[in-house]
Amino acid sequence: GMAEAEIALQALRSANGNNSPASPEYGQGSQLLQLATAEFDQQNYAGALYLATEAKNAAAAGQGRVSSNDRTSTRKGEVPFALPLPLQTTGRANVREGPGANFKVMFTLETGVPIVAYSYVEQWVRIKDGNDRPGWIHQSLIDRRQ
């Protein structure tokens, strides 16, 4: 548990570029790993395992964001979220190639489909669906997962 979390955080750090500022997920994961170590030292193994798992989850979220942040495809005015957001569609939704109704529809999602949002440009949100398909969806068609 704890070793896996440490490895995941190291991988995130190197994927993010060792010289660049640490991602929010790296900071969160490191803090959780420190807490896990403290719990382990107090022989609270269940607590340590839980915190180590949360640290791994933070690192995994960071890896997802780092891999989705292909800088060559970042749009003008695109603002990344601090962490990937678990959302869902609120109605049948077209997923487009870019942030705007003038972009080609790549696929359509039905109501209630879970998605993850990474960034936005004005009213458009960059997402990936459960099949790892990327695209853009209008903010009016998404909401928090129930």
**Are 60 and 20 members of one domain?**
yes
CATH number, domain containing residue 100: 2.30.30.40
Domain boundary pick from 33, 68, 103: 68
**Are 134 and 116 members of one domain?**
yes
Query: pLDDT tens digits, residue range 76-101?
Result: 888 888 778 899 999 999 999 999 99
Query: What pLDDT is recorded for position 95?
Result: 95
Domain boundary pick from 50, 68, 86: 68
Mapped onto helix, strand or coil, the DSSP state of residue 87 is: strand
User: 139: domain range?
Assistant: 72-144
Comparing CA positions, the residue from 23, 51, 25 lying closest to residue 38 is 51
**Are 77 and 140 members of one domain?**
yes
Query: What pLDDT is recorded for position 127?
Result: 93
Which residues have C-beta within 8 Å of that of residue 113, sequence separation ≥ 6?
A: 88, 89, 93, 129, 130
Query: What pLDDT is recorded for position 63?
Result: 66
Domain boundary pick from 68, 83, 112: 68
Alpha carbon of residue 140 to chain centroid: 20
**Are 44 and 81 members of one domain?**
no
Residue 29: CA count within 13 A, CB half-sphere: 29
Q: What is the DSSP letter of 103?
A: S
**Are 106 and 46 members of one domain?**
no
**Are 18 and 77 members of one domain?**
no
Domains of the chain: total? 2
**Are 76 and 117 members of one domain?**
yes
Which helix (H) or strand (E) is 12 found in, with range?
helix 2-16
| CB distance 79 to 119 below 8 Å | yes
Query: What pLDDT is recorded for position 135?
Result: 93
**Are 110 and 138 members of one domain?**
yes
Task: Name the stretches of the chain with pLDDT < 50.
Answer: 70-72
